[in-house]
Structure 1
Amino acid sequence: MVFLFQKKLTPTNTIRKELKKIYGINSFLANQICDQLGLHTTVTVGALSLDQTEKLGRILQYYYLTEHDLKKQVQGNFQRFIQIGCYRGFRVTQRLPLRGQRTHTNAKTAKRILRA
């Protein structure tokens, strides 16, 4: 069983698919990381050696913002908008969409994401 950033990765799935479970890693970054490590597209998590797993963890830790650090940075950005008093900060405090989206019917996502 492989754990990366408190996420349990399924040993039967490919490493590229399992890396996308980590917050902040999308499919492009997962492919880029696997190419950097020299992993084939069909390599499963269970087939990784201990050395490869350690290298993967080091690369994710040093070169990419993931999980808690990324969430903390996003919240810090929202707090900065609120502190300087800009329009986006006002929209955050009102739990409304920030970038001009429709509010009559489709503001449910903004209210869920911008929960304070």
Structure 2
Amino acid sequence: MLYVLNTNLDNKKKLFIALRDIYGLGKHSSNQICDLLGISTDRRLKQISSLQLERLTQLVNLNYNLSGEIKRSTMKNVQRLVKIASYRGFRHIEGLPVRGQRTHGNSRTRRKIKTLYN
């Protein structure tokens, strides 16, 4: 296990797959990172030198929003909807589906997990 960008990554995985384990990085962005660093996508995480790993962390920190920032901005947007008393804000408060889904047969998990965004 390798601890990179506040995430434990498996050494045995290929680099572009291991990068996807970081919250906020997906398939496209992990391939972009590999191309920018000049590292083959077939290389394993344990085959990367410490210098390349340092360059990787610098590149990701400068160019991409990661877990804390994404979660913070999402919570901020939901709190804004609640504050302005919009319909979507009420749906968030009540723990119901927000985007117009029906509730008769579906959304059982959404109705069970009630978290308040006050």
TM-score, L = length of structure 1: 0.88
How far residue 52 of structure 1 moved from its aligned partner, in angstroms, is 1.0
How far residue 68 of structure 1 moved from its aligned partner, in angstroms, is 1.4
- Structure 1 stretches lacking a partner, 5+ long: none
Task: Give the letter aligned to residue 42 of structure 1.
Answer: D
Aligned residues: 116
CA distance in 2, matches of 1:112, 1:25: 29
CA distance in 2, matches of 1:62, 1:112: 39
Cα-Cα RMSD: 1.8
Query: 1:12–1:45: 8 Å Cα contact kept in structure 2?
Result: yes
CA distance in 1, matches of 2:81, 2:43: 43
Moved over 6 A (4+): none
Check if 1:98 corresponds to 2:95.
no
CA distance in 1, matches of 2:113, 2:32: 28
How far residue 26 of structure 1 moved from its aligned partner, in angstroms, is 1.2
- Structure 2 stretches lacking a partner, 5+ long: none
CA distance in 1, matches of 2:97, 2:52: 42
Query: 1:5–1:67: 8 Å Cα contact kept in structure 2?
Result: no
- SS for the counterpart of 2:3 is strand
Identity %: 34
Task: Give the letter aligned to residue 71 of structure 1.
Answer: K
How far residue 39 of structure 1 moved from its aligned partner, in angstroms, is 1.4
- SS for the counterpart of 1:100 is coil
Query: 1:20–1:30: 8 Å Cα contact kept in structure 2?
Result: yes
Task: Give the letter aligned to residue 21 of structure 2.
Answer: K
How far residue 84 of structure 1 moved from its aligned partner, in angstroms, is 1.1
How far residue 113 of structure 1 moved from its aligned partner, in angstroms, is 7.4
